[in-house]
Amino acid sequence: MFKKNQKPTEESGRRSRGASREKGGAKARSFPWKSLLSLSLVVILAGGLLYSWPVLMKWVNQPIARVEVRSTFNYLERGEVEKQLAPWLVNRFFYLDLEEMREAVLSMPWVREASLRREWPDTLVVRLEERKPIARWQEDGLIDVDGEVFLPGSMEAFNKLPKLAGPEDRSQDVMQQYLAFSQVIRPLGVAVRELKLSSTDSWWLKVDHVGVNLGRDRRMERLQRFIRLYHSRLDESWPDVRRVDLRYLNGASVAWKQP
């Protein structure tokens, strides 16, 4: 039988309180409105960006409106450089192939080095270093300080430069030897006008109007012998000398314009 006035036990009290907390916890849970709002905002922004992307890219990636060519322009012409780059300039800012454009500019005879860069929003900057011709090479070429041979087209403006000649794969050797000979001979007040290296490695040079044959071996030693001969015998009669042959062990032969 049940007693009406029976007091609840301690265990039943704990069960009642636990049940109350569970009901309260269920009531505390709410719908994640903030997360849903954040997700919706991200979706809206992504959609807007996707929709406006073509217009945005068209504004950012503009056509090239200006080309700045920076060089000393001693031999180069700005218009020729721009003409060389013209096939690539139809592309927009970010679509320019700078490496291909650099190779195209380097193919120009007077360009020694080149660098290209973009300047947003619509400018291409081209920096060029011109070649510095030191001498003529063979009949239709020039040679620069690096011993590189190039064909400038017209040779009319370079007739006064010294003339070098030799096998095509020995251009750097000929150039270096020319610089060495010129430095040794300069104190005499004369100059090397021509230098030739034969296919048999024999060296011949023209000092002012005089042909000087050094042969294959001991060329610097023989050139020193020429200097001593110039001081002792040739200085005063230099205009009458035709050629000097130094292919002797310890001597030289001199040919005169008149007997």
pLDDT in tens, 7-25: 555 454 545 455 444 444 4
Average pLDDT, the chain: 85
Q: What is the pTM of this model?
A: 0.73
Q: Does one domain contain both 219 and 176? A: yes
Q: Is residue 115 part of a domain?
A: yes
Could you give phi then psi for residue 163, rounded to 5 degrees? -115, 130
Q: Does one domain contain both 198 and 229? A: yes
Q: Specify the 3-state DSSP secondary structure of 32.
A: coil
Q: How many distinct structural domains can be found in the chain? A: 2
Distance CA 246, CA 254 (A): 9
Q: In which band, very low, low, confident or very high, does the pLDDT at 61 lie, cut at 50, 70 and 90?
A: confident
> What mean pLDDT is predicted for residues 138-155?
92
Q: Is residue 252 part of a domain?
A: yes
> What mean pLDDT is predicted for residues 226-242?
96
Q: Does one domain contain both 232 and 140? A: yes
Give the rounded percent of residues in the chain with a pLDDT score beyond 90. Answer: 72
Q: Does one domain contain both 95 and 150? A: no
Q: In which band, very low, low, confident or very high, does the pLDDT at 42 lie, cut at 50, 70 and 90?
A: low
Instruction: Report pLDDT for 60.
Output: 78
Q: In which band, very low, low, confident or very high, does the pLDDT at 248 lie, cut at 50, 70 and 90?
A: very high
> What mean pLDDT is predicted for residues 186-208?
97
Q: Specify the 3-state DSSP secondary structure of 213.
A: strand
Q: Does one domain contain both 222 and 154? A: yes
Q: Specify the 3-state DSSP secondary structure of 95.
A: helix
Q: Is residue 33 part of a domain?
A: no
Query: 130, 162, 177 — which closes off a domain?
Result: 130
Residue 152's contacts (CB-CB under 8 Å, 6 or more residues apart) are 75, 109, 110, 133, 141, 142, 158
Instruction: Report pLDDT for 26.
Output: 47
Q: In which band, very low, low, confident or very high, does the pLDDT at 46 lie, cut at 50, 70 and 90?
A: low
Q: In which band, very low, low, confident or very high, does the pLDDT at 153 lie, cut at 50, 70 and 90?
A: confident
Residue 113's contacts (CB-CB under 8 Å, 6 or more residues apart) are 106, 128, 129
Q: Does one domain contain both 104 and 174? A: no
Q: In which band, very low, low, confident or very high, does the pLDDT at 145 lie, cut at 50, 70 and 90?
A: confident
Q: Does one domain contain both 82 and 99? A: yes
Q: Does one domain contain both 90 and 182? A: no
Q: Is residue 49 part of a domain?
A: no
Instruction: Evaluate if residue 210 carries a pLDDT over 60.
Output: yes
Q: Does one domain contain both 208 and 220? A: yes
> What mean pLDDT is predicted for residues 199-224?
96
Q: Is residue 28 part of a domain?
A: no
Give residue 86's domain range: 66-130
If phi > 0 it is left, if psi is from -120 to 50 it is alpha, else beta; for residue 230 that is: alpha
> What mean pLDDT is predicted for residues 216-224?
94
Q: Is residue 227 part of a domain?
A: yes
Q: What is the pLDDT of residues 75-121, one digit of tens each?
A: 999 999 999 999 999 999 999 999 999 999 999 999 999 999 999 99
Instruction: Report pLDDT for 200.
Output: 94
Instruction: Evaluate if residue 48 carries a pLDDT over 60.
Output: no
Q: Is residue 36 part of a domain?
A: no
